[in-house]
C-alpha cells in the first residue's frame, strides 16, 4: 500500500512500494549510470536504474519489501551512497537507506483537524534533551504536562537525519529520513498521534536554507547547490538557476510529505533570509500553497511559520498585497527588547536595544526596527508591520537560538532573579501575539541548553569549535566556550523534571499555568482580536498595555521594570491608570503563591508594583 492509497498526494521519489516490489526513482541530470544495490531481503543484489523523462532514473526491484536496505552506486564508482529521498537511515547519514511503508502505521487521529494560528501557544522542544532517554516515545508521557500547562502546539526542533546521535538538528542532510537515534519514522508517528489525542498540534522545524556538510551527498546527484549566493552556514540551495525546478520539487515534496505521511500540523521554516530565489513565484509562496493543498485534501489545516532576520512583513502579507501569504513569522525584536531590558546586556545585537521604549514599541508595532537605522547593522533595517494582524507574529522570551547561541547556554533561570522570571512570564503571556515557550521555561529551568554535536569528521568538529569561539567574540564571550563534541555538553543540556515539585520552580510553574488560563478566558487576549494601545514612562520604569476588543472586557497590563536598588530592598513603582472606569485585578506576579512578596496593591487610581512586578486588570467603563 502506498501513501497515496488513502487519498491525496503521494511521494513519487525515493523507494515506493508498488505491486510486486519497490520502485526506486532518483533525479540526477549529471549521472552517466545509476544502480541500486539491495543489501538485505529476498531481492538482495544489484539493479540498474534507467534514465526517464526529466533526468529521473527508475527501476522496479521485484520482491523488494519494506524493511529492506539499499544504497546507490553512481557511475559505477564506490563508495555507495544513500538515496537522496531516503525515508530512514537506521545506521546514520553514511549508511544504507531502508524502505518504509508510510501507510503501515495505524493512526487514531481521524477526527483531528488542526489549529488556527490565533489559538496557538507554542512549546519548543529538542527531542534529545527534553527527556533523559531523548526519544520520541519518552516524550509521549510528558504531553499531558504540556496540555495541563495550557500549551496548544508542540514545536519539534529538526528531526531530519543528522550526523551522529546528538545534534540540534540544523546540520541535517537526510531531509526525508527521521533521525534514527530519536526512534525513526514510526517513533515520530507515535508522538504525533499521541499529541493529537491530547489535543496538541505538532509543528516541525525544517531547514531549507542549507544542508550540513557531513553526509551531504546531494552534489553527487546534480546541481542542488549554487555558488551565486552564500549563506552563513555554507552553500545556498539552487532555487532559481539552471535545473532548479527539481531542486524546488525536492524541497516542496519534503514539506508535503511531513504533512501527508506524518500528519504534522505545521512547519517552522528555519532562517528564510538564507533562502535565495529571485524568480517570479518565490519558493516560500509556492511551498505554502502546496502544503495547504495537501492538508486541505485531508480535511485539515497546516500552518507555515517562518524565522526571518529581515523584519519584512511581506512574508505574512497576502498575495493580493505582494506578500508570500505565510501564516506567521518569528519576531525577534520582542525577544531582544525584553532580554536587554531584563538582563542589562548590550553586546552584539543587543546594542540596538535596552531602552524601555524598545519594549513598548515591540508590543505596539510588531517590529522595533521598521525602516529605522540599526547601530549594530550600521544601516536601516526592516519595514513597518503594524497593519499586519497580531496573530501573524510569534514572540518569545527564550528559544533554542537565543539560549543555545550564548557561550554557556544560560537560560533566564540562571540569569534572572525570581521577580525577573515572573515579569518575563507576564510579558510573554499577557500580550496580543502568539507566544512561544522554550522547554523548561515554565518552571524556570536552570540547566543550560548548549550547542552540541557528534560529528564523525574530526576536521569538521575542529572547524565548528573555532567557529563558535569567533562568533562569540562580539558578545565578549570568547572564554569558556563548551566543546560541542564533548558528550558532557549534551548531558548538561537535558531538562531536570524533578524541579517541578521544588521551590522556587513550583511557584514559577503555577504562574505560567495561571497566565495561560487567563489567556484562554479573556477574549481580548486572543491574538488579532484587540486594538492595542501602549504607553510607558522610562524615568518611572513602567510600561502599560491596554487591549480593547469588540464585545469583550477591556484588559490592562502594567509592567514595572525598575531594578532593585543596591542591597536588594523593595521599592514600589506607582503606575497611574489612564483609562477611566472600574478595574479588577486579575493577577499580579508578586503574589506569594508565585514566590512574590504580596506587596502589589491597587487603590482605584494607581497600581503599586514592587521591583519588576506585573499586574493584569479587567475593566468596565463606569
What pLDDT, in 10s, does the model give residues 80-124? 999 999 999 999 999 999 999 999 999 999 999 999 999 999 999
Q: Are residues 162 and 268 in the same domain?
A: yes
Tell me, what CATH number does 141's domain have? 3.20.20.80
Same domain flag for 198 and 58: no
My answer on whether 440 and 496 are in the same domain is yes
- Cell numbers 505545521 correspond to 266
Catalytic residues: 270, 307
Domain contains 561: yes
Low-confidence winner among 411-415, 425-429, 454-458 (lowest mean pLDDT): 454-458
User: Phi/psi at 372 (nearest 5 deg)?
Assistant: -100, 160
Please tell me whether residues 501 and 600 are part of one structural domain.
no
pLDDT digits (tens, 9 = 90+) for 582-595: 778 899 999 999 99
- At 62-76, the pLDDT tens digits run 999 999 999 999 999
* Farthest-apart Cα atoms in the chain, separation: 84
CA distance 403 to 396: 11
Q: What's the average model confidence in pLDDT over 144-150?
A: 98
Q: Are residues 349 and 397 in the same domain?
A: yes
Q: Characterize the bridge pairing of strands 372-374 and 379-381.
A: antiparallel
- From 51, 69, 98, the end of a domain falls on 98
Question: What is the mean pLDDT of the segment spanning 269-294?
Answer: 97
Does some domain include residue 36? yes
Cα 347 off chain centre by? 25
The CATH number assigned to the domain holding 7 equals: 2.60.40.10
In a domain, 106, yes or no: no
Q: How many domains does the chain have?
A: 3
How far is it, in rounded angstroms, from Cα 590 to Cα 511? Answer: 10
Q: Spell out the residues 6+ positions from residue 200 whose beta carbon is closer than 8 angstroms to its own.
A: 143, 146, 147, 151, 152, 153, 154
How many Cβ atoms are within 10 Å of 103's Cβ, its own excluded? 17
The 10s digit of each residue's pLDDT in 291-334 is: 999 999 999 999 999 999 999 999 999 988 889 999 999 999 99
What is the C-alpha separation between 588 and 281, in angstroms, rounded? 49
Q: Are residues 430 and 525 in contact, defined by beta-carbon separation less than 8 angstroms?
A: yes
Q: Is 284 exposed, middle or buried (0-12, 13-18, 19+ CB in 10 A)?
A: buried
176 and 42 share one domain: no
As beta bridge partners, residue 204 has: 156, 267
Q: What is the mean pLDDT of the chain?
A: 93
Residue 3 pLDDT more than 50? no
CA dist 85 and 16 (Å) reads 10
Q: How many CB atoms lie within 10 A of CB 517?
A: 13
pLDDT value at residue 564: 62
Length of the chain: 622
Beta bridge partners of 18: 21
148-166 tens-digit pLDDT? 999 999 999 999 999 999 9
The pLDDT of residue 578: 55
Q: Is residue 592 included in any domain, yes or no?
A: yes
Nearest-5° angle of CA 567, CA 572, CA 574? 155
Q: Is residue 621 scored above 60 in pLDDT? A: no
| pLDDT score at 111 | 95
User: Do 473 and 558 fall into the same domain?
Assistant: no
Asked whether residue 484 falls in the same domain as residue 572, the answer is: no
**CATH number of the domain where residue 558 is located:** 2.60.40.1180
Q: What is the Cα gyration radius of the chain?
A: 25
Domain boundary at 482, 509, 536, which? 509
Range with lowest mean pLDDT among 133-142, 309-318, 339-348, 461-470: 461-470
Q: Which residues pair with 154 in a beta bridge?
A: 123, 202
CA atoms within 13 Å, Cβ hemisphere of 353? 26
Residue 4 — pLDDT band, cuts 50, 70, 90? very low
- Is 440 a member of any domain? yes
Dist CA 541 CA 325 (whole Å): 38
Residues 25 and 143 in one domain: no
Task: Tell me the C-alpha distance between 139 and 130, whole Å.
Answer: 7
Last residue of a domain, one of 476, 509, 542: 509
Same domain flag for 412 and 530: no
For the purposes of burial, counting CB atoms within 10 Å of the CB of 90, is it exposed (0-12), middle (13-18) or buried (19 or more)?
Answer: middle
User: How confident is the model over 209-237, as a mean pLDDT?
Assistant: 94
Closest CA to 109 of 245, 265, 215: 265
563 within a domain of the structure (yes/no):
yes
Residues 385 and 101: their CA atoms lie apart, in Å, by 45
Judge contact between 445 and 512, C-beta under 8 A: no
CA distance 615 to 622: 20
Where b means 16+ CB within 10 Å and e means fewer, 20-33 reads: ebbbbbbbbeebee
Sign of the alpha-carbon torsion through 205, 207, 212, 215: positive
Sign of the torsion angle spanned by Cα atoms 559, 562, 567, 571: negative
User: Is the separation of the CB atoms in 206 and 159 below 8 Å?
Assistant: no
Q: Which residue range forms the structural domain that includes residue 40? A: 3-98
Query: With bands split at pLDDT 50, 70 and 90, how would you rate the model's confidence at 57?
Result: very high
Phi, psi of 567 (to 5 degrees): 95, -15
Q: Note whether 501 and 546 are same-domain residues.
A: no
pTM, full prediction: 0.95
Percentage of the chain modeled with pLDDT above 90: 83
Q: How confident is the model at residue 477 (pLDDT cuts 50, 70, 90)?
A: low
Res 622: pLDDT: 32
The DSSP annotation for 195-212 comes to HHHTT-EEEEEE--S---
Q: Specify burial of residue 392 (Cβ count, 10 A radius: 0-12, 13-18, 19+).
A: buried
Same domain, yes or no: 401 and 500: yes
Q: What pLDDT does 185 receive?
A: 98
In a domain, 239, yes or no: no
Query: Could you give phi then psi for residue 437, rounded to 5 degrees?
Result: -100, 145
Axis crossing angle, helix 244-262 with helix 184-197, rounded to the nearest 10: 50
Separation between Cα atoms, residue 103 and residue 99, nearest integer Å: 12
* Contact call for residues 236 and 248 (beta carbons, < 8 A): no
Residue 554 lies inside a defined structural domain of this protein: yes
Query: Would you give the distance in Å from CA 493 to the centre of its chain?
Result: 18
Chain centroid offset of residue 105 CA: 26
Amino acid at each position: 500500500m502506498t501513501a497515496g492509497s488513502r487519498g491525496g498526494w503521494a511521494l513519487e521519489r525515493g523507494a515506493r512500494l508498488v505491486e510486486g516490489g519497490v520502485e526506486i526513482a532518483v533525479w540526477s541530470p549529471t549521472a552517466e549510470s545509476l544502480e541500486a544495490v539491495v543489501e538485505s531481503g529476498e531481492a538482495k543484489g544489484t539493479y540498474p536504474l534507467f534514465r526517464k523523462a526529466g533526468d529521473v532514473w527508475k527501476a522496479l526491484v521485484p520482491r523488494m519489501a519494506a524493511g529492506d536496505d539499499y544504497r546507490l552506486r553512481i557511475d559505477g564508482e564506490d563508495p555507495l551512497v544513500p538515496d537522496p529521498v531516503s525515508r530512514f537511515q537506521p545506521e546514520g547519514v553514511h549508511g544504507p537507506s531502508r524502505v518504509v511503508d508510510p501507510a503501515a502505521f495505524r493512526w487514531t487521529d481521524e477526527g483531528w483537524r488542526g489549529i488556527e494560528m490565533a489559538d496557538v501557544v507554542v512549546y519548543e522542544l529538542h527531542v534529545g534533551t527534553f527527556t533523559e532517554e531523548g526519544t520520541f516515545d519518552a516524550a509521549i508521557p510528558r504531553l499531558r504536562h504540556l496540555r495541563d500547562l495550557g500549551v496548544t502546539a508542540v514545536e519539534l526542533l529538526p528531526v531530519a537525519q543528522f550526523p551522529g546521535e546528538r545534534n540540534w538538528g540544523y546540520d541535517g542532510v537526510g531531509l526525508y529520513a527521521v533521525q534514527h537515534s530519536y526512534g525513526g519514522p514510526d517513533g515520530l508517528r507515535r508522538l504525533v498521534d499521541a499529541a493529537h489525542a491530547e489535543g496538541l498540534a505538532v509543528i516541525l522545524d525544517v531547514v531549507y536554507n542549507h544542508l550540513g556538510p557531513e553526509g551531504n551527498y546531494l552534489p553527487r546527484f546534480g546541481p542542488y547547490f549554487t555558488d551565486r549566493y552564500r549563506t552563513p552556514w555554507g552553500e545556498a540551495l539552487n532555487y532559481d538557476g539552471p535545473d532548479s525546478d527539481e531542486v524546488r520539487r525536492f524541497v516542496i515534496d519534503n514539506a508535503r510529505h511531513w504533512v501527508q505521511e506524518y500528519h504534522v500540523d505545521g512547519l517552522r521554516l528555519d532562517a528564510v533570509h538564507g533562502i535565495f530565489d529571485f524568480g517570479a513565484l518565490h519558493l516560500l509562496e509556492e511551498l505554502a500553497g502546496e502544503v495547504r493543498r495537501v492538508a486541505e485534501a485531508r480535511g485539515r489545516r497546516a500552518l507555515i511559520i517562518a524565522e526571518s532576520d529581515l523584519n519584512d512583513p511581506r512574508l505574512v502579507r497576502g498575495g493580493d498585497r505582494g506578500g508570500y501569504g505565510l501564516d506567521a513569522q518569528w519576531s525577534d525584536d520582542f525577544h531582544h527588547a525584553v532580554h536587554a531590558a531584563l538582563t542589562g546586556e548590550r553586546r552584539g545585537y543587543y546594542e540596538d536595544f535596552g531602552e524601555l521604549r524598545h519594549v513598548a514599541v515591540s508590543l505596539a508595532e510588531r517590529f522595533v526596527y521598521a525602516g529605522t537605522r540599526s547601530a549594530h547593522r550600521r544601516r536601516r533595517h526592516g519595514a513597518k508591520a503594524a497593519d499586519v494582524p497580531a496573530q501573524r507574529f510569534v514572540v518569545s522570551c527564550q528559544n533554542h537560538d537565543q539560549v543555545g547561541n550564548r557561550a554557556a547556554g544560560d537560560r533566564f533561570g540562571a540569569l534572572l532573579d525570581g521577580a525577573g522570571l515572573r515579569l518575563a512570564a507576564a510579558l510573554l503571556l499577557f500580550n496580543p501575539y502568539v507566544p512561544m515557550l522554550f522547554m523548561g521555561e515554565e518552571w524556570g529551568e536552570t540547566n543550560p541548553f548548549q550547542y552540541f554535536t557528534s560529528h564523525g569528521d574530526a576536521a569538521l568538529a575542529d572547524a565548528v569549535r573555532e567557529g563558535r569561539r569567533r562568533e562569540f567574540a562580539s558578545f565578549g564571550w570568547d572564554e569558556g566556550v563548551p566543546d560541542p563534541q564533548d558528550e558532557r555538553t549534551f548531558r548538561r543540556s537535558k531538562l531536570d523534571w524533578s524541579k517541578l515539585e521544588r521551590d522556587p520552580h513550583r511557584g514559577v510553574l503555577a504562574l505560567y499555568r495561571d497566565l495561560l488560563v487567563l489567556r484562554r478566558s479573556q477574549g481580548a487576549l486572543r491574538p488579532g482580536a484587540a486594538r492595542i494601545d501602549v504607553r510607558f514612562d522610562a524615568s518611572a520604569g513602567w510600561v502599560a498595555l491596554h487591549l480593547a476588543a469588540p464585545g469583550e472586557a477591556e484588559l490592562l497590563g502594567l509592567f514595572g521594570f525598575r531594578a532593585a536598588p543596591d542591597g536588594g530592598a523593595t521599592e514600589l513603582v506607582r503606575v497611574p491608570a489612564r483609562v477611566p472606569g472600574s478595574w479588577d485585578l486579575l493577577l499580579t506576579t508578586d503574589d506569594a503563591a508565585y514566590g512574590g512578596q504580596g506587596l502589589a496593591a491597587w487603590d482605584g487610581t494607581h497600581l503599586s508594583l514592587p521591583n519588576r512586578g506585573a499586574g493584569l486588570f479587567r475593566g468596565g467603563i463606569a
